[in-house]
């Protein structure tokens, strides 16, 4: 979970694509806008580059959503409803607008954009399938993902209002479909139903079981379309279009970017997620200024904008803690927070009337929202306290600490009855069941009737632990050992409260929100059984929700050191834990490896799957691995589910000489990492204790002579814009990686269209012979790598 801080650049004046003038400065004098911390917000024009949406930047960095090459759109399925003539969003399509306008304007069937008359029946079938898929995804978002975003929102804007807005708005429709498809991909298409029901699922709840859907590819399609539509909104917001953006459209843009941040957070909580958060922070200010200019002052913040703001606030404290920086939102501007619904007073009191908050029952949902939002503000303040300059005098730090501690006391003392658990039982640990004792464990399963209440209770104990572990030293004469014991005891109590809520298996919205509190709680717990419980909960969260927990687990394991519990190695986290323990056992033996023994190698290739991309230059790595299997005498590559559904050839099966295992990805380029990680996990199980192995990746390399072979082994070496390599580097952590690049030459022109056509074209016989002819040199490089 802990990662090196990432520098997010500030907004700077820029020219918007397609315009020959700089963006006009946008005023930031609205009360709400001052929420943005002056230390992190640079006053100036709104910059769409926060989102990497300028195509000249987006594609020049080889960063289109599906991991292909510059300007190679992967959206080949277009919903005609997205391009209604005269609609505001029509210009956002990757397709030719002129062709669409010509077709719509003439009323003839001469255009080749849509199928001719003799294909009407086929087109109707295709349209029905697409509508079915969109209905399936929108329903999945409404029932499963929308509640994640609405966790503390009494109006349930994302799950109830946004799907209705998507009926008229292509940006929202594609954003919803993108995040729903990606989440389905991460849970392997498994969609849970609520209990056993006599009535069969409706047609829109299921898809054809006989068709294996590549949800990651679907997600990339919808995401690419949504990004294209959002560019049009951004142009309107920046004043590049003749008609200013309406309030509804600006709200829709905020909602879409909020959904984009959820899309990235599922498995990319590094740069992609932070980039969208930084953009959303900038956009919140730009939208309010736009709304101020186009009409009379609004009496209050719109429901949509307030929902986006509070969703952003939840992400803000998490991102700030992970990266050890201050929050984007300015927690000290009380007037602005009051405009967003809080009642915090100038004297530090949290509510206008504490008794009313604690005892009022007629407006239960309103009170739960107020209390939950107040806690988010407190957590943001605690996070900023941790990120403050260490040069502050201890006395000043202690004053801030005492203030925060008193506010948390006041918060807990004024909690309404809704924040009490409605059921709880003692959790049976295995040590108690089999030995008759409790080994000092005091875990309890706790269940709340309100998801907001359950999550708020966890956040409260999370904030308490952070304060306890970061209390300034006073001069009262208390011994350091005594102070440590007191802090440790209190922190463990709060940690067990966090775990207790998690053991109650609350709604998925609560479970995805609890990863950071669980990480902190796990770091405080000392018993092996309790730590094992934390790991099991994290493992279940990833399996059930699709939210990646691998980085969190790896960091937790490193902090525990030699006291790591052992879990099942069926998949996922269990394999990570097992591998970590195995490495520790190897180090503890003290027996040096024989210098005469060569290292086992896992040799992976990345490319694009299917016959469409077979033997293209972009899949040169696959071509070399297939030829390498023949060269080594292996009988062929075969698909194995345990190995990330990749194609595998290894000596134990094929009888080839040497200790090399070949693996060929069956995923699209930008999704290579997950398959490589699964293959590496499966492969590591076969390495004898006391030995180490090495991961080698074969990939195409543009700008290198055709058939040329290059090797990179330096830790942290740049991916050089290769999305397959970036995907792998994002998931393997500190695993040593060697890269062998296969040169594919370069086109005559560096124009983007020419480059796209070049790398996706089929190899000529001469080019294929040249690529395959480098196998001898690849073998020589592998011989060097296996020597360590």
Task: Please give the positions annotated as active site.
Answer: 618
The torsion region of residue 568 among left (phi > 0), alpha (psi -120 to 50) and beta comes to beta
Phi/psi for 639 (5° steps) reads -75, 135
Query: Environment class of residue 765 by beta-carbon count within 10 Å: exposed (0-12), middle (13-18) or buried (19+)?
Result: exposed
| Burial tier of 761 (Cβ tally within 10 Å: 0-12, 13-18, 19+) | middle
* C-alpha pair distances (Å), 309 with each of 305, 313, 373: 6, 6, 11
* Pair of tokens at residue 256: 């879409």
Alpha carbons 331 and 333: distance in angstroms, whole number: 6
Q: Alpha carbon 622 to chain centroid distance?
A: 28
Q: Are 263 and 82 in contact (CB under 8 A)?
A: no
Residues 6+ apart with CB under 8 A from 759: 69, 616, 617, 618, 700, 702, 744
Q: Is residue 549 within 8 Å of residue 539, measured between CB atoms?
A: yes
> For residues 354 and 738, what is the distance between their CA atoms, to the nearest angstrom?
61
Give me the DSSP letters along 387-415: TS-TTS-HHHHHHHHHHHHHHHHHHHHT-
Alpha-carbon distance values, 561 to 523, 526, 554, 694 (Å):
11, 12, 11, 23
Residue 600, number of CB atoms within 10 A of its CB: 21
Q: Which residue has the tokens 């009737």?
A: 449
Among residues 348, 307, 312, the alpha carbon closest in space to that of 327 is found at 312
CA distances from 199 to 137, 141, 193, 203, 246 (A): 21, 22, 12, 12, 44
Question: What is the distance between the alpha carbons of residues 468 and 543, in angstroms, rounded to a whole number?
Answer: 32
| Residues contacting 270, CB < 8 A, separation 6+ | 3, 6, 730
* CA 31 – CA 768 distance, rounded (Å): 64
């Amino acid at each position: 979970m802990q990662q090196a801080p990432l520098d997010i650049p500030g907004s700077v004046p820029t020219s918007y694509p397609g315009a020959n003038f700089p963006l006009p400065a946008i005023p930031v004098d609205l009360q709400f806008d001052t929420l943005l911390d002056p230390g992190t917000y640079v006053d100036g024009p709104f910059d769409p580059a926060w989102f990497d949406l300028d195509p000249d930047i987006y594609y020049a960095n080889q960063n289109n959503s599906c991991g292909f090459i510059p300007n190679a759109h992967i959206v080949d399925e277009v919903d005609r409803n997205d391009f209604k003539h005269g609609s505001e969003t029509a210009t956002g399509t990757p397709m030719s607008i002129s062709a669409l306008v010509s077709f719509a304007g003439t009323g003839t069937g001469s255009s080749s954009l849509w199928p001719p008359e003799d294909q009407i029946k086929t087109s109707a079938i295709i349209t029905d399938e697409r509508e079915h898929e969109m209905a399936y995804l929108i329903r999945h978002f409404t029932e499963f993902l929308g509640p994640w975003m609405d966790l503390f929102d009494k109006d349930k804007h994302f799950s109830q209002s946004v799907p209705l807005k998507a009926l008229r708005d292509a940006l929202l429709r594609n954003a919803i479909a993108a995040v729903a498809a990606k989440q389905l991909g991460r849970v392997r298409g498994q969609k849970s139903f609520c209990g056993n029901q006599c009535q069969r699922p409706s047609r829109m709840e299921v898809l054809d079981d006989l068709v294996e859907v590549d949800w990651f590819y679907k997600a990339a399609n919808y995401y690419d379309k949504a990004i294209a539509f959002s560019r049009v909104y951004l142009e309107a917001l920046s004043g590049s279009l003749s008609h200013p953006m309406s309030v509804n459209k600006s709200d829709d843009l905020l909602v879409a970017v909020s959904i984009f941040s959820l899309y990235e957070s599922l498995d990319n909580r590094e740069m992609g997620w932070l980039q969208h958060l930084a953009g959303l922070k900038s956009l919140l200010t730009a939208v309010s200024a736009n709304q101020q200019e186009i009409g009379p002052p609004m009496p209050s913040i719109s429901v949509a904008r307030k929902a986006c703001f509070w969703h952003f606030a939840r992400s803000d404290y998490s991102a700030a803690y992970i990266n050890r920086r201050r929050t984007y939102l300015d927690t000290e501007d009380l007037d602005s927070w009051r405009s967003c619904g809080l009642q915090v007073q100038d004297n530090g009191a949290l509510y206008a009337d504490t008794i009313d908050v604690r005892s009022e029952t007629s407006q239960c949902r309103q009170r739960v929202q107020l209390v939950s939002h107040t806690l988010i503000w407190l957590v943001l303040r605690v996070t900023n306290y941790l990120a403050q300059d260490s040069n502050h005098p201890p006395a000043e730090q202690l004053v801030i600490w005492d203030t925060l501690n008193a506010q948390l006391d006041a918060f807990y003392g004024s909690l309404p009855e809704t924040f009490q658990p409605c059921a709880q039982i003692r959790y049976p640990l295995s040590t108690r069941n089999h030995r008759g004792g409790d080994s000092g464990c005091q875990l309890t399963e706790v269940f709340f009737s309100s998801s907001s209440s359950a999550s708020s209770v966890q956040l409260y104990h999370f904030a308490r632990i952070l304060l306890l572990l970061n209390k300034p030293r006073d001069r009262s004469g208390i011994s350091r050992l005594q102070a440590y014991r007191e802090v440790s005891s209190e922190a463990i109590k709060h940690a067990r409260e966090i775990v207790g809520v998690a053991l109650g298996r609350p709604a998925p919205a609560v479970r995805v929100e609890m990863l950071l509190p669980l990480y902190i709680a796990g770091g405080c717990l000392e018993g092996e059984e309790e730590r094992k419980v934390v790991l099991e909960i994290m493992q279940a969260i990833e399996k059930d929700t699709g939210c990646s927990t691998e980085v969190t687990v790896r960091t937790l394991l490193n902090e525990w050191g030699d006291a790591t519990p052992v879990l099942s190695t069926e998949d996922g986290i269990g394999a990570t834990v097992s591998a970590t323990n195995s490495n520790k056992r190897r180090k503890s033996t003290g027996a040096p490896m024989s210098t005469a023994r060569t290292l086992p190698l896992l040799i992976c290739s990345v490319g694009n799957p299917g016959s469409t991309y077979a033997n293209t230059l972009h899949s040169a790595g696959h071509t070399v691995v297939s030829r390498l299997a023949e060269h080594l005498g292996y009988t062929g590559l075969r698909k194995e589910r345990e190995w990330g559904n990749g194609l595998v050839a290894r000596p134990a099966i094929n009888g080839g000489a040497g200790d090399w295992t070949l693996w060929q990805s069956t995923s699209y380029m930008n999704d290579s990492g997950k398959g490589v990680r699964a293959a590496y996990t499966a492969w590591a199980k076969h390495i004898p204790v006391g030995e180490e192995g090495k991961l080698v990746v074969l990939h195409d390399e543009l700008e290198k002579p055709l058939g040329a072979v290059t090797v990179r082994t330096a830790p942290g070496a740049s991916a050089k814009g290769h999305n397959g390599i970036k995907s792998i580097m994002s998931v393997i952590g500190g695993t040593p990686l060697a890269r062998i690049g296969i040169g594919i030459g370069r086109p005559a022109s560096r124009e983007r269209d020419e480059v796209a056509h070049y790398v996706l074209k089929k190899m000529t016989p001469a080019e294929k012979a040249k690529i395959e002819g480098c196998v001898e040199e690849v073998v020589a490089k592998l011989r060097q790598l296996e020597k360590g």
